[in-house]
Amino acid sequence: MTQHLAAPFSGTSDDAPGHRRGWWQDAVIYQVYPRSFADGNGDGMGDLDGVRRRLPYLAGLGVDAVWLSPFYASPQADAGYDVADYRAIDPMFGTLLDADALIRDAHALNLRIIVDLVPNHSSAEHEWFKRALREGPGSPLRERYHFRPGKGPDGELPPNDWESIFGGPAWTRTTDPDGAPGDWYLHLFAPEQPDFNWDHPAVADEFRSILRFWLDMGVDGFRVDVAHGLVKAAGLPDIGAGGQLRLLGNDVMPFFDQDGVHEVYRQWRTILDEYPGDRIAVAEAWTPTVERTANYVRPDELHQAFNFQYLGTSWQAPALREVIEVSLAAMRPVGAPATWVLSNHDVTRHATRFASPPGVGTQTRQAGDRTLGLRRARAATLLMLALPGSAYLYQGEELGLPDVTDLPDEARQDPSFFRADGQDGYRDGCRVPIPWTREGSSYGFGTGGSWLPQPAGWGAHSVEAQTGDPDSTLELYRAALTVRKEHPGLGAGTAVEWYDAPEGVLVLGRPGFRCTVNTTDTPVRIATPGRPLLASGPIAAGEADDGHTELPADTTVWWAV
**Distance of closest approach, residue 313 Cβ to ligand GLC, in angstroms:** 19
Fill in the DSSP letter of residue 157. B
Q: What is the rounded CA–CA span in Å between residue 282 and residue 394?
A: 15
Comparing CA positions, the residue from 487, 491, 307, 538 lying closest to residue 385 is 491
For ligand GLC, the closer CB: 34 or 218: 34
Active site residue 156: no
**Distance of closest approach, residue 470 Cβ to ligand GLC, in angstroms:** 35
For ligand GLC, the closer CB: 375 or 419: 419
Q: Give the chain's length.
A: 561
Active site residue 414: no
**Distance of closest approach, residue 197 Cβ to ligand GLC, in angstroms:** 17
For ligand GLC, the closer CB: 283 or 533: 283
For ligand GLC, the closer CB: 81 or 451: 81
**Distance of closest approach, residue 255 Cβ to ligand GLC, in angstroms:** 13
Q: What is the rounded CA–CA span in Å between residue 436 and residue 438?
A: 7
For ligand GLC, the closer CB: 78 or 220: 78
Q: ∠ CA(297), CA(298), CA(300), 5° rounding?
A: 105
DSSP 68-135: EPP-EE---TTTT-S-SEEEEE-TTT--HHHHHHHHHHHHHTT-EEEEEE--SB--TTSHHHHHHHHH
**Distance of closest approach, residue 227 Cβ to ligand GLC, in angstroms:** 10
Dihedral sign from CA coordinates of 358, 400, 306, 50: positive
Q: ∠ CA(308), CA(311), CA(315), 5° rounding?
A: 145
User: Contact positions toward ligand GLC, by CB under 6 A?
Assistant: 78, 81, 118, 189, 225-226, 284, 345-346
Q: What is the rounded CA–CA span in Å between residue 222 and residue 268?
A: 11
**Distance of closest approach, residue 459 Cβ to ligand GLC, in angstroms:** 27
Q: Which residue is nearest to ligand GLC (CB)?
A: 81
Q: Say which of 251, 274, 486, 497 is annotated catalytic.
A: 274
**Distance of closest approach, residue 345 Cβ to ligand GLC, in angstroms:** 6
Alpha helix positions (H), 10-54: 48-53
DSSP 460-526: GGSHHHHTT-TTSHHHHHHHHHHHHHH-GGGT-SS--EEE---TTEEEEEETTEEEEEE-SSS-EEE
Reported in sequence order, the residue ranges of 342-491 that DSSP labels E, i.e. its strands, are: 390-394
Contact 212, 87 (CB under 8 A): no
For ligand GLC, the closer CB: 188 or 505: 188
Contact 272, 215 (CB under 8 A): yes
**Distance of closest approach, residue 284 Cβ to ligand GLC, in angstroms:** 6
For ligand GLC, the closer CB: 37 or 81: 81
For ligand GLC, the closer CB: 81 or 256: 81
Comparing CA positions, the residue from 217, 237, 146 lying closest to residue 187 is 146
For ligand GLC, the closer CB: 248 or 460: 248
Q: Please, which residues bridge with residue 417 across strands? A: none
Contact 36, 404 (CB under 8 A): no
Comparing CA positions, the residue from 232, 170, 171 lying closest to residue 198 is 232
**Distance of closest approach, residue 108 Cβ to ligand GLC, in angstroms:** 29
Q: Please, which residues bridge with residue 305 across strands? A: 283
Q: Say which of 64, 116, 225, 301 is annotated catalytic.
A: 225
Q: What is the rounded CA–CA span in Å between residue 191 and residue 75?
A: 13
Name the phi and psi angles at 114, rounded to 5.
-115, 130
**Distance of closest approach, residue 385 Cβ to ligand GLC, in angstroms:** 23
Q: Around Cβ 329, how many Cβ atoms within 10 Å?
A: 15
Q: What is the rounded CA–CA span in Å between residue 431 and residue 337?
A: 28
Instruction: Report the SS3 class of residue 209.
Output: helix
For ligand GLC, the closer CB: 82 or 161: 82
Q: What is the rounded CA–CA span in Å between residue 451 and residue 431?
A: 10
What positions carry a catalytic annotation? 225, 274
